[in-house]
Amino acid sequence: MSTVFLNHQYLPMEEARISPMDRGFLFGDGIYEVIPSYNGKMVGFGPHIQRMRNGLAAIGIQFDWDESAWREVCDQLIQRNGSGNLGLYLHVSRGADSKRFHAYPEGVAPTVFAYAFEIAPPPVPDRSQATGYKVATARDLRWQRCHIKSTALLGNVLHFQYGYEQGANETLLYNSNNELTEASACNAYIVKDGVVITPPLDNQILPGITRQLLLDILRRDGSITVEERAVTMDEVFNADEVWVTSSSKEIAPVVEIDGKPVADGKVGPVWEAALKLYSAAKFDY
């Protein structure tokens, strides 16, 4: 049985209740985060909380918890749920109104929910042990504010399900210009001639914290060149390597797209080198 945090209380998951009038439930009107934690050590805590604050400000939810308030909840969840490999899910919705009305209500307290769930151990930077991802591709049909980490994830769910039904681990998405955006729950990258290339931050993609850390780590190290620029789907299909990143997966190598191998269909050497660097530096953030 897991212990969760709901509106200033720690309680068993089975006893956690929210109102059906909660705007998170009715409208997907909220912001969330997932922070990975390994043996009690979180990765990217500060950047995750900053992104949550940005998201709350972007949708006008007044909720001013700072890093120390969130850290206390995360530490408690780790203590109360065992400190293995955990994803810490943090969620703030606009709260429960007395009526269903689109405009923001006045004087309604946000609903704050957090819980811990088990995640896979971090991947080992060794090509011979790596499991390659298979992905599908689809036209990105989500909304035009994908930089906000909204709890309204139906667009992402539909894209993920499309790939899932074909036996794929993820769905790579492209816009009307046939340019890669991201995946349904991950950021996306190609490697060409040793250069790691990923779409730039804009409204079409989530500013992933794994992406932020990875690009910073690679640039500081300097042995692998990084470019942030538009990537066409032709480039994706002709890449030497393709990766997707997220907090719970770190860097996942893609070996098959729409049933066709990426390059020779094997996990590539740049993935291994990048994951080595990421693994060594990730707890610095």
- Residue number, 156 or 169, with CB nearest to ligand PLP: 156
At closest approach, how far in Å is the CB of 98 from ligand PLP?
Answer: 32
Nearer of residues 156 and 198 to ligand PLP, judged by Cβ: 156
Shortest CB 160 distance to ligand PLP, Å? 9
Site for ligand PLP in 70-99 (CB under 6 A): none
- Least separation in angstroms between residue 10's CB and ligand PLP is 25
Sketch the per residue contact string, 239 through 258, with ligand PLP: x for CB under 6 A, - otherwise. Answer: ------xxx-----------
DSSP summary character for residue 151: S
Give the H or E element holding residue 54: helix 45-58
Torsions phi, psi for 274 (to 5 deg): -70, -40
**Whose Cβ is closer to ligand PLP: residue 93's or residue 97's?**
93
Residue count, binding to ligand PLP (CB under 6 A): 14
Q: What x/- string results for residues 138 through 157 when contact with ligand PLP is judged by CB under 6 A?
A: ------------------x-
What is the nearest approach in angstroms of ligand PLP to the Cβ of residue 90? 12
Find the binder of ligand PLP among 208, 253, 267, 282 (CB under 6 A): 208
For residues 142 and 17, what is the distance between their CA atoms, to the nearest angstrom? 30
CB 174 within 8 A of CB 181: yes
Residue list 156-195, contact with ligand PLP (CB under 6 A): 156, 182, 185-187
Closer residue to ligand PLP (CB): 11 or 120: 120
Nearer to ligand PLP by Cβ, of 84 and 155: the residue is 155
Q: How far is the CB of 140 from ligand PLP (least distance, A)?
A: 10
Q: Does 37 bind ligand PLP (CB under 6 A)?
A: no
Tokens of 281: 């530096």
Which positions are catalytic? 32, 149, 182, 206
| Angstrom distances, CA of residue 38 to CA of 6, 25, 30, 63, 100 | 23, 30, 27, 28, 41
Residue tagged 């797209």 (tokens): 257
Q: Residue 250 and residue 262: Cα distance in Å, rounded?
A: 20
What residues have CB less than 8 Å from 113, skipping those under 6 apart?
Answer: 4, 5, 6, 7, 16, 18, 89, 90, 91, 92, 93
Sign, Cα dihedral of 28, 31, 32, 33: positive
Does 210 engage in binding with ligand PLP (CB under 6 A)?
yes
According to DSSP, the β-strands at 260-261 and 250-257 are: antiparallel
Which tokens go with 237? 């299909």
Binding site for ligand PLP (CB under 6 A): 34, 156, 182, 185-187, 206, 208-211, 245-247
